Each structure stands twice: as C-alpha cells, then as structure tokens.
Structure 1
C-alpha cells in the first residue's frame, strides 16, 4: 500500500460571491470581506468541516464571516491554489443576501458592498477577480 503524503491531499473549502441589489438604485453590488490576519480583500470562504456538504459549508461561512443569510444560485468556478504548502480547493457559488447584518468578528473586521468593477479593483487575489467577473453572466443566465 503506497504511503499517503498528507501534504498532497487538498484542503477542501467553499465560499460565495455574495451579492445584492443596491438599496439606493438597484444596481448590482458584491460583498467583499477584509481579513486582518492576511490584510486582504476576498470573497467569504472557509474550510469545510469533515463530511460537510460544500454548498452548506459555503453558506455557513457566509453567515460566520459576514452575518448575512443568503440564497444560493449558480455554482461558479472551483479554484485551486497552494496555501501553507498544501493544495487548497475552493468551490464557489453565487449567493444573494436575503437578511442579516455585519458585525466585526475575529476573522473579518470589515465588509464592503461594491459594484462589480470596484470589487474587481479592490480584490487582492487575481483568482478572486475572475470569480467577480463570472457573477453578472451567471445572474443573467440564472
């Protein structure tokens, strides 16, 4: 039986490109989270619990990080990258906010609601910018 190298086993995570219609003019807005530990701007996401359904985990992470409850829509791209010397695989969904309120917490100290173009400029990682680009077409076809 071959030895399993745990460093090759991907860390499984899930998240959402969280969106709403602006309360002022109805335009599309994306929610970005600021994580002080990394000083970055990203979409809400996190590691899955053992045996957790990825979509359930994505919605759980949204609530934990942002305080918002969301309804999932189309599945977006799965992103794979190296984190801490291990591959990390994150599945994403579009998700519309239905209720809730942000309160700063240990993982996320700020959220911003931005237009897709503004969100694209603010996002730290290129992979997150590509996800922001996927949302408008997913909503149109949804």
Structure 2
C-alpha cells in the first residue's frame, strides 16, 4: 500500500526554534505525523499536502524529501513517502480519524511519538 505524509513544522511562537505538529488517531491510540493512502491518480506530493490539510487543517509548503518508511500494518506491506513541510496556516477541526493536534518543540514531539520510525523521521528533519 502506498501512502504519503509530512513532518509538519512551524516557527515557534517564542521566535526560537520550531514546533512539530503531531496528530492523535484514536483508532490506533497513537501520536504520529500526518499521513494517508494515495488516491487513484494522485501523486505522492499531492497526497502528502492533502493529508496534512485533512488531518491538521493546515495548508503547507513541501520541503525536502525525508526517508521513506517501510513497514507492515494489519498484515499488509506499507510504503510511506515523507517530506518536511512548513505550516502556512489553517484551523484544526477534530474529526473521526484525528481527534487531537499538538504543536510541540522537537524534543517533546520525539518523546510523544508512538512509533520509533516516526522518531527517525523527526531526527532526519532536525538533525
């Protein structure tokens, strides 16, 4: 299954550093980066931007490619292409898939992420 997502960031309100957006998905009881399955005819880039908007309410500008994640979910191989993305603005609305959005400094985001592969993506962004 092909999917795409972003490590979404914005300048910290303090003016020092950045904050990372994490989404909470009650179905999986996890904190992760926004991501989702490609729709028919959709490019990975289009999917990543759409999923960020759907899950966080934020429009975004894609940055550099980050490592692609390969794993098995519910017995199916999954490949997720990721980008860094700067948040450009918007309003979060809780939904069925994502009920919470958290903006955290990188160290706090790293501690909250559920999956080690998501921490590796964050590390690739903030180095």
Q: Give the TM-score normalised by structure 2.
A: 0.97
Matched, 1:56 2:22: no
Matched, 1:82 2:72: yes
Secondary structure at the aligned position of 1:30 is classed as: strand
Distance 1:37 1:54 in 2: 24
Identify the match of residue 97 of structure 2 among 103, 107, 115.
107
Between Structure 1 and Structure 2, how many residues are aligned? 127
Question: RMSD in angstroms over aligned alpha carbons?
Answer: 0.8
Cα deviation code 1:52-105 (max 9, x no counterpart): 100110000000011000000000000000011110000000000011011111
Structure 2 unaligned blocks of 5 or more: none
Give the drift of 1:111. Answer: 0.7
Bigger Rg, structure 1 or 2: 1
Aligned partner of 2:8 in structure 1 is 18
Give the drift of 1:33. Answer: 0.2
Give the drift of 1:26. Answer: 3.3
Distance 1:115 1:132 in 2: 11
Higher strand content, 1 or 2: 2
Aligned partner of 2:35 in structure 1 is 45
Secondary structure at the aligned position of 1:96 is classed as: strand
Secondary structure at the aligned position of 1:57 is classed as: helix
